[in-house]
Amino acid sequence: MFNSYRKVLLYLKNGILSTSSTPKLCVVLQRNPSTFSPQYSTSNLDSQSFTVDYLINKCGLSQQTALSATKRVQFDNSKKPDSVIALFKSHGFSDAQISLIIRKLPCLITFDPDKIIRPKLEFFKSKGASTSDLIKMMTAEPRLLARSLESCLIPFYDSLKRFLISDECITDTIKRYAHIVCDMSRTSRNVQVLLDNGMPDLKVGLLLSQWPRTVNMQTDDFKRAVDDLKELGFNPSRSPFVVALVAKSNGKTKWERKIELFKKWGWSEEVIASAFTRRPWCMLVSEDKLRAIKDYFVTRLGWDSLVLARYPILFSVSLEKTIIPRHSVLEVLLSKGLIKDAHSVSLFTVEEKSFRKRYVDCFEEEAPRLLKLYEEKRNLSK
């Protein structure tokens, strides 16, 4: 250890290290004294110092991040890094976006811009990706630029086209979750699981386009989720299976918290399973909304909570935009004796046109007042 420090002091004394590099090298020494062992050459030190300076001054990285990056990348001149930065700027990337990319994947700064980086950018542009699309994809997942174009990106892109049909859909999917491309082998395995279980291409495309993160699960967990849903009676060929799979894959903790919440309301495991199979969306609704819907119907309106289990579609309805405004109409109709059913679920679930026809327009004398009240309540939600 003493010899390592003495070697650094010797470098400083002989003017081998620049004054501007000294603070950074002291940090390096504190973090990794073995860096300055006798076998570590002066050129190594110069390269590390140059890399740190460049990443800080040209790429906007913090000193700590730059030092950490030197474990993975080092260079002793700015020719290639400058050309990489120039390439990104020519494609519309800002300094902040370039900094983010290099911070996530420092080795990109040493890639050949014309042989490695440019072809990937041009490939996605040729498929209709706009400048903003490119920026979003590459800042989200810079590893796209490290994948082989011929052996990885193009074959995977072509395989996606079977399910997503258009270049625009594929671009939107990659923008939504670029990691799906970087872990393409897992995605491909999971897609095959769906196909083997009878899911049609159209439904696979729906899952890929709207919930690509789900298709990128660990394959063992993915298979288990598919099998569990089939045991509950879900058919992989139908849309509810897609939603149920997303809900089942949304995180074990979230799933368990919602199960516990339902149990607090007096729902048995059988009732919960029944509600889920009726309307799997209910397990994708936030806990806050579940509580708000339950409080409104059970606490305020006096409904039995099991009604919500029988009609879990109510959890998908907007409280502010639909339930409260329509309940205001219901109260007037009840006070006038125009309807007798105070527990009409259809009041809250029918489409807007049908609601107006069945609960407003048909009562000619009250229609103007009802419509005014309804619109006022809806406007309040805005």
Would residue 41 count as lying in a domain? no
Around Cβ 216, how many Cβ atoms within 10 Å?
21
Q: For position 44, what pLDDT does the model report?
A: 61
CA dist list (Å): 324 to 298, 315, 362, 363: 14, 13, 21, 20
Would residue 120 count as lying in a domain? no
Mean pLDDT (whole number) for 78-82: 93
Structure tokens at 275: 């509600």
pLDDT score of 2 more than 80: no
Q: For position 380, what pLDDT does the model report?
A: 78
Whole-number Å distance between alpha carbons of 107 and 35: 20
High-pLDDT (> 90) share of the chain, %: 70
Select from 163, 223, 213, 156 the least CA-distant residue to 193: 223
For residues 110 and 54, the answer to whether their CB atoms sit within 8 Å is no
Would residue 200 count as lying in a domain? yes
**What is the pLDDT confidence band of residue 276, given thresholds at 50, 70 and 90?**
very high
Structure tokens at 102: 């290099």
- What burial class does residue 98 get, using C-beta atoms within 10 Å of its C-beta: 0-12 exposed, 13-18 middle, 19+ buried? buried
Cα 262 to the chain's mean position, in Å? 27
For residues 347 and 357, the answer to whether their CB atoms sit within 8 Å is no
Q: For position 326, what pLDDT does the model report?
A: 93
pLDDT score of 332 more than 50: yes
Q: For position 16, what pLDDT does the model report?
A: 36
**What is the pLDDT confidence band of residue 299, given thresholds at 50, 70 and 90?**
very high
The owner of tokens 């004054």 is 19
Would residue 157 count as lying in a domain? yes
Would residue 196 count as lying in a domain? yes
Whole-number Å distance between alpha carbons of 240 and 233: 11
For residues 313 and 292, the answer to whether their CB atoms sit within 8 Å is no
Whole-number Å distance between alpha carbons of 198 and 196: 6
Higher pLDDT, 329 or 41: 329
DSSP 64-131: HHHHHHTTT---S-SHHHHHHHHHHHHTT--HHHHHHHHHH-GGGGGS-IIIIIHHHHHHHHHTT--H
High-pLDDT (> 70) share of the chain, %: 87
Containing structural domain, residue 213: 147-249
Q: For position 340, what pLDDT does the model report?
A: 78
Would residue 215 count as lying in a domain? yes
For residues 320 and 314, the answer to whether their CB atoms sit within 8 Å is no
Mean per-residue pLDDT of the chain: 87
Counted domains in the chain: 1
Would residue 179 count as lying in a domain? yes
Select from 38, 16, 29 the least CA-distant residue to 67: 29
Would residue 174 count as lying in a domain? yes
For residues 355 and 319, the answer to whether their CB atoms sit within 8 Å is no
Whole-number Å distance between alpha carbons of 380 and 261: 30
Q: For position 184, what pLDDT does the model report?
A: 87
> The pTM is what?
0.77
Most confident of 25-34, 116-125, 333-342: 116-125
